[in-house]
Amino acid sequence: MGEGEKKGAGRKPWGGRFAEPTDAFVERFTASVGFDRRLYRQDIAGSIAHARMLARAGVLGEDEARAIVEGLEAIRAEIEAGRFEWSEALEDVHMNIEARLIERIGEAGKKLHTGRSRNDQVATDVRLWLREAIDGLRAEIARLQEALVDLAEREAETVMPGFTHLQVAQPVTFGHHMLAWFEMLERDRARLADCRRRVNVLPLGAAALAGTSFPVDREFVARELGFEAVAENSLDAVSDRDFAIEFAACAATLMMHLSRMAEELVLWSSAQFGFVELPDRFCTGSSIMPQKKNPDVPELVRGKAGRVFGHLQALLTLMKAQPLAYNKDNQEDKEPLFDAADTARDCVRAFADMLPHLALDRERMREAARRGFATATDLADYLVRKGVPFRDAHEIVGRAVRLCVERGCDLAELPLETLRGFSERIGEDVYEVLTLEGSVAARDHLGGTAPRQVRAAARRARARLRAG
């Protein structure tokens, strides 16, 4: 088939004004059907609602509307069966479907676009698509959160070193650490729910930019499509993509959190830490070093954060300084938006699938906490309770730690006499606070790391998940 005979070529839906056919390269350059065909379901749903509304308003005959709806449903079936012939000459998903409708049902098909423009059509499609993507992503985040709560409950007593500056700081429980991750994700899920409210607004009716001279019932269309509100201003409705930017910002923040979790999993699964072992089926080997088992999944998640940050930047830049109303620049919103949503969802899924199968080396974690003087603060607090001002207590314990470093032992291994050499207020009961279990159990308040608190926090976390 020659260039001129390509499907749709030479009979553009907007061809009337043009004296020569589109340049072949320009046709390819301006087409979006390669990626926006993904919106076919939303495009058809929007068109069906529009056609029904036009019939109610008396703009279309009942039989015309019926033919349109049936035609569109048949086209949806064609697309889903892989029988639809997409044409680049027809530019985008909207014109491909409309052209096919006309091909199938004739005259009535030519009336579908009454009172509408591709500008309000595409904004509607993208919002419908994103609404679903948000719901899917939020459900996946909740699944990961479930896995974290399960781990938190199971490991409420498991002691590990807590870090600041990646130096051993104070002992914490593994369960507590899992619930820290839970909280990050809980805010991500809430941010997405909030974003969804602003996504879920109907642009249709704005037409090209100024509204339409036909008596459209936008409230009806909004109800048909499940939109919570109708966009107030037609110029704004067709032009702004801030909802996509907002989603990308939510996705970027989520990815930032996932990258932090990923980094810890990479560290923890190294021979040097040895806290956890990732399931074999989530790792790969090296083609040269036979001993290697690489944490590819967390590493990839960490790396993919960069992609999503980039998409946020791309969307912001694409919107920046655009004059009202619609500009073709906005066609560039889809690829970053789709990829941000797909990437975030895949990454959450990978973690949700993997975390329940994490193997813990509880002994290694304990040992790492013990060797790092994680209970030094507990000794200082002990002295404070015996009447020593905190600053002095800090100094005293610092000297005791230095001695331990010299001797290569732990604070709990110093004999009472030696400890009393640092402060006479130290008594036999000091060894209770120097144990790791004593240290974590002492942090027994809302938000603290004590096993009792972790279990209570896990129960509350489950209730929050159930609340939606």
Contact set with ligand ARG (CB under 6 A): 32, 36, 92, 118-119, 122, 326, 328, 330-331
Whole-number Cα distances in Å, 429 to 90, 386, 442: 82, 11, 14
For residue 244, which of 340, 344, 121 has the smallest C-alpha distance?
340
Helices (H), 106-156: 118-154
Instruction: From the candidates 47, 50, 87, 165, give the one annotated as an active-site residue.
Output: 165
Q: Which is nearer to ligand ARG, 165 or 328 (CB)?
A: 328
Q: Which is nearer to ligand ARG, 111 or 118 (CB)?
A: 118
- Which H or E run contains 260? helix 242-268
Tell the smallest beta-carbon distance from residue 253 to ligand ARG (Å): 26
Tell the smallest beta-carbon distance from residue 329 to ligand ARG (Å): 9
Instruction: From the candidates 259, 269, 270, 286, give the one annotated as an active-site residue.
Output: 286
Tell the smallest beta-carbon distance from residue 205 to ligand ARG (Å): 16
Phi first, then psi: give them for residue 172, nearest 5 degrees: -135, 170
Structure tokens at 425: 């207020």
Contact 447, 180 (CB under 8 A): no
Contact 173, 451 (CB under 8 A): yes
Q: Which is nearer to ligand ARG, 330 or 343 (CB)?
A: 330
Structure tokens at 458: 């896990």
- Which H or E run contains 368? helix 362-371
Q: 286 catalytic, yes or no?
A: yes
For residue 202, which of 86, 260, 123, 261 has the smallest C-alpha distance?
123
For residue 369, which of 64, 162, 138, 136 has the smallest C-alpha distance?
162
Q: Which is nearer to ligand ARG, 98 or 140 (CB)?
A: 98
Q: 259 catalytic, yes or no?
A: no
How far apart are the C-alpha atoms of 69 and 71, rounded to whole Å? 5
Whole-number Cα distances in Å, 211 to 45, 76, 200, 225: 21, 28, 19, 19
Q: Which is nearer to ligand ARG, 231 or 426 (CB)?
A: 231
What is the bridge-based pairing of β-strands 359-360 and 201-202? unpaired
Q: Which is nearer to ligand ARG, 239 or 375 (CB)?
A: 239
Tell the smallest beta-carbon distance from residue 334 to ligand ARG (Å): 6
Tell the smallest beta-carbon distance from residue 218 to ligand ARG (Å): 19
Tell the smallest beta-carbon distance from residue 117 to ligand ARG (Å): 7
Report, as residue numbers or ranges, the catalytic residues: 165, 286
